[in-house]
Amino acid sequence: MAEHTLRDKVAVVGGGEKNLGALISRTFAGDGAKVVVHYHTGEKEAEETVRAVEDAGGQAVSVQGDLTDVAQVRRLFDTAVDTFGGVDIAVNTTGMVLRKPILETTEEEYDRMFGVNAKAAYFFLQEAGRRLNDHGRIVSLGTSLLAAFTDGYSTYAGGKAPLEHFTRAAAKEFADRSISVNVVAPGPMDTPFFYPQETPERVEFHKSQAMGGQLTHIEDIVPLIRFLATEGWWITGQTLFANGGYTTR
The pLDDT tens digits for 103-161 are: 999 999 999 999 999 999 999 999 999 999 999 999 999 999 999 988 999 999 999 99
Domain assignment of residue 77, yes or no: yes
> How many domains does the chain fold into?
1
Evaluate whether residue 133 is within a structural domain. yes
Does some domain include residue 4? no
Phi, psi of 66 (to 5 degrees): -95, 110
CATH number at residue 202: 3.40.50.720
What is the set of active-site residues?
Answer: 156
Give the tens place of pLDDT for each residue, 204-217.
Answer: 988 898 999 999 99
Q: What is the pLDDT of residue 207?
A: 87
Residue 248 lies in a domain: no
Domain that holds residue 178: 10-242
Q: What is the pTM of this model?
A: 0.95
CA-CA-CA-CA torsion sign (45, 112, 20, 121) = negative
155 in a domain, yes or no?
yes
> Is 193 a member of any domain?
yes
Here the contacts of 206-211 (C-beta below 8 Å, separation 24 or greater) are 206/246, 209/245, 209/246, 209/247, 210/243, 210/244, 210/245, 210/246, 211/244, 211/245
Condensed to tens digits (0 to 9), the pLDDT of residues 155-175 reads: 999 999 999 999 999 999 999
